[in-house]
């Protein structure tokens, strides 16, 4: 019954998205994340998939109900956005007031600092090690010899793309410079081994920057992502290289993208039943313990959406109240972002939604959100100043 209700709510949600053309909006990545976390793993459970099977049928049914709540939440986000879209007015101007030369110098300076940081730790980067046949853990999972990696990740995932997307329209006719910038930003994002943010960064580029559907572009995007995934999985490793074949990649990518992201939810429900000590762990510790519970080894970390984390830690009232707050917050902030028509602001908001869905509400993520909000305010403030000075 729970599984049927989940699918009916998804179909209702999907119909609203198509009718309201929400697939073109700024919340698309959030909708996509919810579907990947709650629909495709639910079908995997329904067809009796055997991987990641550390949960009971009871936990699976609770997971289905959580999925129902998630899709109702998304339906209300759609309806609120539809109701208030034409009522919300935002004072904006789609340019920075900051002098372009100064901003370009700051962008180049930031890139040079990042390059220096990359060179300083050149032996520690997962991507570079993978090309040499050595598969190592990500620095955000195992700290290792890195110092300041969190700051690095925030800069290259939030600030650097935001500045790049500002320059995109200034230099879009200069294909060489634009290509150089996009390659540098992509390299800095993926070098740490985080395949997820790299995939969603490229997806953002195609959805909101290029916009036009191109078979060539999407084919290149797909091949690039598969190649990066194969490299990170050990395609150049003497020990693992032979096992990283086409069959392995198809199975691994499919389960990783459509199953593993959300299958953590029934597992964490099962793991925390009658065990309050685990539920009281902080977000990062919980994800590490969950990884070991599912895979049987450590170190590692499983993604866990904020909806599941709040559900297992607090009572039903707090859970529903939090979902309600996020419903209105996402709805109105997304409308504000769209009204600005500013690609840099859109990226920062898009990143926040990605982090919210895939990484939850850990202390580290809260710092990312605070930094992102500051960046959005600065961009918007300069845009307002530009408008006032142009009138």
Q: How confident is the model at residue 384 (pLDDT cuts 50, 70, 90)?
A: low
Residue 390 pLDDT: 46
Residue 362 pLDDT: 79
CA 92/CA 382 separation, integer angstroms: 9
Which residue from 225, 172, 223 is spatially nearest to 194, judged by alpha carbons? 225
Residue 123 has pLDDT above 90, yes or no: no
Residue 158 pLDDT: 93
Q: Which residue has the tokens 């890139």?
A: 111
Residue 70 has pLDDT above 50, yes or no: yes
Tell me if 303 is assigned to some domain. no
84-111 per-position pLDDT tens digit: 887 765 555 445 455 567 777 888 888 8
Q: How confident is the model at residue 299 (pLDDT cuts 50, 70, 90)?
A: confident
Q: How confident is the model at residue 348 (pLDDT cuts 50, 70, 90)?
A: very high
Tell me if 362 is assigned to some domain. no
Q: Which of 42-51, 203-212, 342-351 has the lowest mean pLDDT?
A: 203-212
Residue 342 pLDDT: 84
Tell me if 135 is assigned to some domain. yes
At a CB cut-off of 8 Å and minimum separation 6, what does 233 contact?
A: 135, 240, 244, 248, 249, 252
Which residue from 65, 50, 68 is spatially nearest to 294, judged by alpha carbons? 50
**DSSP letter, residue 155:** I
Structure-token pair, residue 28: 């698309």
Q: Is the CB of residue 266 less than 8 Å from the CB of residue 65?
A: no
Residue 244 phi, psi (nearest 5): -90, 75
Q: How confident is the model at residue 389 (pLDDT cuts 50, 70, 90)?
A: very low
Residue 174 pLDDT: 72
- Greater confidence, 107 or 212? 107
Residue 236 has pLDDT above 90, yes or no: no
Residue 388 pLDDT: 42
CA 378/CA 386 separation, integer angstroms: 12
pTM, to two decimals: 0.88
Mean per-residue pLDDT over the chain, rounded: 84
- Greater confidence, 387 or 33? 33
**Three-state SS across 232-245?**
HCCCCCCCCHHHCC
Residue 261 has pLDDT above 90, yes or no: no
Tell me if 138 is assigned to some domain. yes
Number of Cβ within 10 Å of residue 119's Cβ equals 8
Q: Averaged over 272-284, what is the pLDDT?
A: 78
Residue 52 pLDDT: 81
Residue 391 pLDDT: 45
Q: Is the CB of residue 30 less than 8 Å from the CB of residue 330?
A: yes
- Greater confidence, 363 or 244? 363
Q: Averaged over 207-211, what is the pLDDT?
A: 81
Q: Averaged over 268-277, what is the pLDDT?
A: 82
Q: Which residue has the tokens 């999985």?
A: 233
Q: Please, what is the end-to-end C-alpha distance for the chain in angstroms?
A: 60
Cis peptide before 299 (omega within 30 of 0): yes
Tell me if 280 is assigned to some domain. no
Residue 42 pLDDT: 95
Tell me if 162 is assigned to some domain. yes
Residue 88 pLDDT: 63
Tell me if 357 is assigned to some domain. no
At a CB cut-off of 8 Å and minimum separation 6, what does 91 contact?
A: 384, 387
Domain that holds residue 157: 100-232
User: CA angle, 334 as apex, 331 and 340 as ends, to 5°?
Assistant: 145
Tell me if 26 is assigned to some domain. no
Q: How confident is the model at residue 124 (pLDDT cuts 50, 70, 90)?
A: confident
Q: How many domains does the chain have?
A: 1
Q: How confident is the model at residue 245 (pLDDT cuts 50, 70, 90)?
A: low
Q: Which of 142-156, 169-183, 238-252 has the lowest mean pLDDT?
A: 238-252
- Greater confidence, 381 or 358? 358
Q: Is the CB of residue 51 less than 8 Å from the CB of residue 305?
A: no
């Amino acid at each position: 019954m729970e599984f049927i209700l989940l699918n009916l709510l998804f179909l209702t949600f999907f119909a609203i998205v198509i009718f309201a053309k929400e697939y073109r909006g700024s919340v698309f990545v959030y909708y996509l994340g919810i579907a990947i976390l709650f629909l495709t793993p639910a079908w995997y459970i329904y067809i009796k998939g055997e991987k990641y099977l550390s949960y009971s049928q009871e936990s699976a049914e609770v997971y289905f109900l959580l999925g129902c709540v998630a899709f109702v939440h998304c339906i209300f986000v759609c309806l609120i956005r539809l109701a208030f879209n034409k009522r919300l007015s935002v004072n904006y101007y789609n340019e920075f007031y900051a002098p372009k030369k100064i901003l370009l110098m700051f962008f180049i300076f930031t890139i040079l600092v990042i390059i220096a940081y990359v060179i300083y730790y050149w032996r520690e980067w997962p991507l570079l090690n993978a090309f040499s046949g050595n598969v190592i853990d990500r620095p955000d999972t195992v700290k290792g010899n890195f110092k300041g990696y969190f700051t690095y990740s925030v800069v290259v995932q939030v600030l650097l793309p935001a500045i790049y997307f500002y320059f995109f329209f200034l230099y879009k006719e200069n294909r060489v410079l634009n290509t150089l910038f996009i390659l540098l930003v992509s390299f800095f994002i993926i070098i740490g081994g985080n395949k997820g943010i790299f995939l969603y960064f490229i997806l953002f580029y195609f959805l909101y920057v290029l916009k036009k559907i191109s078979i060539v572009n999407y084919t290149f995007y797909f091949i690039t992502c598969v190649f990066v995934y194969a490299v990170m999985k050990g395609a150049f490793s003497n020990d693992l290289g032979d096992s990283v074949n086409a069959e392995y990649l198809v199975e691994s990518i499919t389960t990783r993208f459509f199953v593993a992201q959300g299958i953590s939810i029934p597992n964490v429900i099962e793991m925390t039943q009658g065990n309050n000590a685990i539920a009281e762990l902080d977000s990062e510790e919980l994800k590490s313990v969950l990884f070991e519970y599912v895979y049987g080894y450590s170190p590692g970390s499983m993604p866990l959406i904020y909806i599941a984390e709040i559900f297992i830690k607090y009572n039903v009232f707090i859970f529903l109240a939090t979902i309600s707050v996020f419903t209105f917050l996402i709805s109105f902030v997304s409308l504000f972002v769209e009204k600005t028509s500013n690609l840099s602001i859109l990226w920062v908001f898009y990143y926040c939604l990605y982090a919210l869905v895939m990484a939850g509400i850990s202390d580290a993520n809260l710092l990312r959100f605070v930094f992102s909000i500051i960046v959005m305010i600065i961009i918007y403030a300069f845009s307002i100043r530009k408008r006032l000075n142009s009138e």
